Amino acid sequence: MTRLKISEDAGEEFAIRGHNTVTDAGDNGVIFYNDVTKVHVLPDRESFTIQVSTPGLALEMDFADADSVREALEWFETKKVLEVNSDPPGSVRIVPSLEKKKEPKTYGEPFIKPESYEGVLEQVPSRRTNV
């Protein structure tokens, strides 16, 4: 099951060690609490799995029972998780996002910034009107 290392002052991030589902190998990294977009229990009645989502990946953690899940959710909410480890292997899964980042939308020709003539005086002929 998932092992969480808890600290009263965990800081702004927590370390992760688990199985990368894309590379099918062990992986580790750091997740910043400010990057977390969602923490929830996956809707599977036969498992106790919490998913932590960020723009770049999802972290899935298996727990032994509902009490462990509730306790872990509280620790994530109060930012007390310092480290997430997998014991046995496979109980923590790192699922990188395969979505390509969206390129800014362009319309036709690319914008070309005009040259700056700042500081250059321009001569403008005067208009004379006959009175």
d(CA 4, CA 21): 20
The encoded tokens of residue 53 equal: 């989502």
Nearest to 29 by CA among 84, 88, 91: 84
pLDDT tens-digit profile, the chain (131 residues): 899 999 998 899 999 999 999 999 999 999 999 999 999 998 777 789 999 999 999 999 999 898 999 999 999 999 999 999 988 888 999 999 876 555 555 555 555 666 666 666 666 666 666 65
